Amino acid sequence: MDLPLPFVVRESSHRIHNPLDDVKLATLGRALRLRPGQTVLDLACGSGEMLCTWARDHGVGGLGVDLSTHFTRAAQARAAELGVAGRVRFVHGQAAGYVADEPVDLVCCVGASWIGGGVDGTLDLLERSLKPGGTVLLGEPYWHRVPTDPATVAACHATSAEDFRTLPGLVGHLAALGWDLVEMVLADADSWDRYRAAQWLNVREWLDANPGHELYAELRAELDAAPLAYVTHERPHLGWGVFALRRRLGFSPIPSPSA
């Protein structure tokens, strides 16, 4: 049980496996008003940068779960580097269906809503580990511009334009599910560039080091196409953000916007 090698190669140097940079990640931690002693569960935690830096900066503790052995080892090393290994731990495992033994203050799924089959199922999963009055963090793509051609849809890693909502559509949908949006931090063009362009360098360095590998041709073709596809399709069309949510008291369903 592990992530496919091409994904690991692409993100091998990343500490943050989404289009937030370290400044935005720190901004998010401050915006949440984290307090010492609060507990966090981070599902699909990647290399653990969020949990490790927030443990250092805000005194929280908790657990990260990820499917990649490479990333969980990197997370454990990062925790030791930042001196927070006594407060956070990381386990290799399936985040889909994972529920904490004891409810926590903050439950996160930042960029991996596949673990619950989409936004709705992921929020249901996260809520099962949440203390009453606690906060959920959801990282999710949205459309800046809804694509009308199959090439753009494919370049944005979607199967159809209906896979994602616009930002107003997403925020409205979260409200319709009974969640108050209490904070958000959105990727910008520069943080997207840093995320994607670093992937190209990672792939190129892997290609240089592995000319005879069975996946060489696949990753060579990917690098040939990825930069142009990104600047042509993904960069102008796709947004991404992290949304902090709290369950609305006395919630009753309201119609979800179709946008």
Non-local CB neighbours of 221 within 8 Å, separated by 6+ positions: none
Domain map of the chain by residue range? 5-245
Share above pLDDT 90 across residues of the chain, in percent, rounded to a whole number: 95
Distance, CA of 226 to CA of 107 (rounded, Å)? 33
Asked if pLDDT for residue 67 goes beyond 80, the answer is yes
pLDDT value for 145? 97
Chain segment 166-213, per-residue pLDDT in tens: 999 999 999 999 999 999 999 999 999 999 999 999 999 999 999 999
Reported as a pLDDT band with limits 50, 70 and 90, residue 1 is confident
Asked if pLDDT for residue 96 goes beyond 60, the answer is yes
DSSP string, 90-131: EEES--TT---SS-EEEEEEES-GGGGTSHHHHHHHHHTTEE
pLDDT value for 158? 96
Measured at the CA of 162, the angle between CA 65 and CA 254, to 5 degrees, comes to 85
Non-local CB neighbours of 63 within 8 Å, separated by 6+ positions: 40, 41, 42, 88, 89, 90, 91, 100
User: Does the pTM of the predicted model rise above 0.75?
Assistant: yes
Query: What torsion, rounded to 10 degrees, do the Cα atoms 51, 165, 184, 230 define?
Result: 70
CATH of 5-245, one of 3.90.1150.10, 3.40.50.150, 3.60.150.10, 3.20.20.60: 3.40.50.150
Residues 211-217, mean pLDDT to the nearest whole number: 98
Reported as a pLDDT band with limits 50, 70 and 90, residue 255 is low
**β-pair partners for 244:** 137, 183
Non-local CB neighbours of 182 within 8 Å, separated by 6+ positions: 135, 244, 245, 246
pLDDT value for 250? 80
DSSP letter, residue 257:
P
Chain segment 138-165, per-residue pLDDT in tens: 999 999 999 999 999 999 999 999 999 9
